[in-house]
Amino acid sequence: MFAQSNSAPDAALTDDARVVPPPGAAPLSQWQLIWGDEFDGTALDTTRWRIEDLHLIKNAELQYYAPDEVYIENGCLVLRSRQRSYSGYDNAGDWRHFDYTSGLVETRDRFATAYGRIEVRARLPATRGLWPAHWLLPDSRRWPPEIDIMELLGHEPTRVYMTHHWGQWPDVQRAGNSYSGPDFSQGFHTFAIEWSPARIDWYIDGMLRFSSVQDIPREPFYIILNTAVGGDWPGNPDASSVFPQYHRIDYVRAYMPGDPGAALLDVEDATPQTATVDGVIGRDEYVLVTTGINAGLLDQIGRNSEMHVDSSADGRLSIGFASVTAWPGEPYGVVIYVDSVDGGFASTYELTDAAARSRRLASGKGESGQRADLYFAPGFRADYAVVLEVDFVTIYRLDRSSHVLIHGAALDAPTDMLGGDDVRYRADGDGGRRVRECELRLSHVSVAPGQTFRCVVTLLNGDTAFRANEFVGAAPGNPFDAAGLAATAAVLKPGDFIRFRAASPADGCGPGCSAAGGNADLDGDCDVDSDDLARLLAGYGTQAGATHAQGDVDLDRDVELDDLASLLRVYGAACP
């Protein structure tokens, strides 16, 4: 094992090191897949991977990374390495001749993650002078840090290396381990890390082989798969080297914990009525009152401002804000991310919808390509965004390319955007300067009375993607505490969210209650009638993300024949 102090310039090898399993390590069954590629198509998916076409000047390596050395074959990504004459540019802009070509793919600008489990199943190449690797670099493009999931030297096919680099160049520190096992070129093996704010654990074929607890990075990383030829560490090919060589990758998978664990705040609404949304926040009107953290933009949702949350037994959700300073005007908006159903997004990184300001606010993007990606607490998967602008509230179901508009309302308008009163948005009488209250249906975010959801709140500029360091639902101790984030990534730590259990149906009424027709009561008025049937028929055929209010009776995120049959079975049911 490589063991090293922060001041040591190099690592020292210690034999016969014993690795103790990490405390509270989660079984693989408790992880949820958030991203992956099984390489089952006929060509590499370039929306997920970037293929290198360049010689990278580093480590005295000899290869040119040529796109024709990257291909899909028999359900595997293949990175081929060949000895051949090839000409191309290096990253200094010089046109050069090369004697070797190889392959490199990466998720840069496609996918990045902070924390979780990253797993690669691969069969590695092996001949003198080769250097296959699976590794991670920061999305910020700075170095160090670096996390090497697996590295192998081609003349040692039974030994793989696992390393963590940190520090400031040129004082780079490292800790790592080498594991000797089977010949990794003779079959497929899994190589994985499990990364949390406190530690990184390395697994080979499901067995823990190394752990590091020193200077664990707290920023997003992207994935790199490559095979280098030659270089300072493996040495150059010689007369014994055999080409071509093949680095075969069966899959790459990224996971997050299925359960985000304990919340910063855990609140249960035990009262059947909700707050009155009228622009005035009364004392004890809301069941949840909490302050935010930091004051990056004069404390608009920060440590001296308040967020209020309440719900009702008939399925309404009320949210209020009382800011110390004036409520943010254009182009700023407050975004409430809601985690209420399985699936969802572990970050805003992949969200690209920038068609309008409210959509950019939900995506964490600016109007000219700027981005302020938010990485939620591990295990928190955002499904919905409630966007509060100065004069409009909008509810979206999040989607990678085009968020689904659920509902909305203009400030102080007599009706919502559909002409009803399901959504209301009110300001205080002082010119709407400090208070905002909104009311929506729990079903708009796929929650029924008595059910639980999670949320976290942030403040963003919808034109420039400038994110304030003000959050509600997060505790101090994040990297952004000291200064404004601007258009940079924000990574929340475990527990940075609020868990809220909505008020239960009163006297056996409302969605979720069998006496009132259960989830077939789509409008939450304690009966199943023609209004509920009309809602379901209007939403019939909605797939992959339908809400309860759209007709999703069985809560499987689509509206189909099963939902219609369930509603018809209890049609006419009402409160006793």
Please list, in sequence order, all residues whose beta carbon lies within 8 angstroms of the beta carbon of residue 549, skipping any fewer than 6 positions away: 406, 441, 443, 444, 522, 523, 535
With a pLDDT cut of 70, the percent of the chain lying above it is 90
Residue 477 β-bridge partners: none
How distant, in Å, are the alpha carbons of 213, 223, 303 from that of 139?
21, 10, 29
Pairing between β-strand 498-501 and β-strand 265-268 as defined by DSSP bridges:
parallel
Is the pLDDT at 386 greater than 90? The verdict is yes
| Residue whose entry in the numeric block shows the structure tokens 């290396």 | 161
**pLDDT bracket for residue 491 (50, 70, 90):** very high
Residue spans of beta strands (DSSP E) within 197-275: 200-204, 207-212, 221-229, 245-257, 265-268
Domain definitions of the chain by residue range:
32-255, 265-401+438-501, 506-569
- Burial (CB count within 10 angstroms: exposed 0-12, middle 13-18, buried 19+), residue 572: exposed
pLDDT digits (tens, 9 = 90+) for 394-412: 999 999 999 999 999 999 9
Is the pLDDT at 486 greater than 90? The verdict is no
Q: Please indicate whether residue 73 is annotated as part of the active site.
A: no
User: What pLDDT shows up at residue 296?
Assistant: 81
pLDDT digits (tens, 9 = 90+) for 335-358: 999 999 999 999 999 999 999 999
User: What pLDDT shows up at residue 517?
Assistant: 57
State the catalytic residue, choosing from 52, 61, 151, 389.
Answer: 151
- Burial (CB count within 10 angstroms: exposed 0-12, middle 13-18, buried 19+), residue 235: middle
Query: What angle do the packed helices 530-539 and 561-569 form, to 10 degrees?
Result: 180
Mean pLDDT of 64-71: 98
State the catalytic residue, choosing from 52, 69, 146, 470.
Answer: 146
Is the pLDDT at 4 greater than 90? The verdict is no
Among 96-105, 120-129, 283-292, the least confident range? 283-292
The span from the CA of 82 to the CA of 19, in Å, is 38
**pLDDT bracket for residue 555 (50, 70, 90):** confident
**Is 373 in a helix, a strand, or coil?**
coil
pLDDT digits (tens, 9 = 90+) for 167-194: 998 999 999 999 999 999 999 999 999 9
What fold does the segment set 506-569 form as a domain? Type 1 dockerin domain (1.10.1330)
- Cα angle 243, 244, 249 (rounded to 5 degrees) comes to 130
**CATH number, domain 265-401+438-501, options 2.60.40, 3.30.450, 2.20.28, 3.90.75:** 2.60.40
pTM of this prediction? 0.85
User: What pLDDT shows up at residue 521?
Assistant: 82
Q: Among 444, 423, 262, which Cα is nearest to 340's?
A: 444
Mean pLDDT of the chain: 90
Among 100-104, 504-508, 563-567, the least confident range? 504-508
With a pLDDT cut of 90, the percent of the chain lying above it is 77
Residue spans of beta strands (DSSP E) within 413-566: 424-427, 435-441, 452-461, 467-472, 490-491, 498-501
What's the CATH number for 32-255? 2.60.120.200
**pLDDT bracket for residue 2 (50, 70, 90):** very low
Tokens of 477: 């101790």
**Is 326 in a helix, a strand, or coil?**
coil
Q: Please indicate whether residue 151 is annotated as part of the active site.
A: yes
Is the pLDDT at 504 greater than 70? The verdict is yes
pLDDT digits (tens, 9 = 90+) for 252-272: 999 999 999 999 999 999 988
